[in-house]
Amino acid sequence: MNDFLQYIIQVFQGNAKEVIFAVMMTGGVWLFEWWRPAVADSGLGGRWHNIKVFILLLIGLAFAAPVLNRCAQLLPSIPLIERMVPDWQSKGIVGGILATLIYAFIWDFFQYWTHRLEHKNAALWAFHRVHHSDAHMNASTALRQSVGGALIGHFLGHIPTVIICGGNMVPYLGSLLLFSGWGYFNHANVRFSLGPLTRVISGPQWHRLHHGKDAQYHNSNYAAFFPVLDLMFGTLRLPKKKEWVETGVRDDVSPQNPLKQVFLSWRNESATASTLLAHTPEAPSGLLDRQ
């Protein structure tokens, strides 16, 4: 009983820190979104909704933590990269930057194909569509996902990356910048373009196209960090100079209540289950196709 109580306390403390960080990041980026919005700002309501979704997500993942921890124990103790090239990593700042970039690229490779599969397969889209159903995309949209979507990303994206790279490869600062901060930047409702660097690193204008409501924007820009992955696999779409598209899911039938979005994301609010296929961003298929 004492062990269980200690576990609950640790989970509560960890989740509280995550929520505080999320509120600070959302509020901080909001200053820039208010100062130079890409489209009309939606105000506090949508942001508060997404924070509630995030809190419920953390609660749901806390229940899944024992299973996830058990799976982590089954992973190889020595990552593939060290088996292939022992002592590859140099020390110091250069070594930390190199390790961060390698880890981020490998993770983004698996994230790319997981993300693309979520858009191609109707069953997976039912978990992922919560993230896309935000019609007023802003930094807080990064927090908006279902438990099912988070678990899909964990098993198909995080686990393969850990097998290759290990779990302690990225320095704390690199991890904070990429895996805790970049999502807020990517989803920000801010009129900011990276210009020629858009081909090198993702940004809010480029990623906004991926969230575009119109069908012409579907099947594009799946990478989280490196647009070169979209270039390699035929899904790159570069934004025009003043292109700031409308976001959301057309004819959205996904749940609007935060509790349902997190735990019952596959249910439709105003349609039968068969209607799900009609509202998938693309004609769904069980296989990935390279274009």
CA distance 225 to 126: 24
pLDDT score recorded for residue 263: 97
Mean pLDDT by 10 residues, the chain (291 residues): 73 89 96 96 95 97 90 89 80 83 95 97 97 97 97 96 86 75 96 94 97 91 98 96 94 95 92 44 37 30
pLDDT score recorded for residue 1: 62
Asked whether 288 and 113 are in contact (CB, 8 A), the reply is yes
What are 92's two structure tokens?
């110091």
First CA to last CA across the chain, in angstroms? 55
CA distance 78 to 71: 15
pLDDT score recorded for residue 169: 75
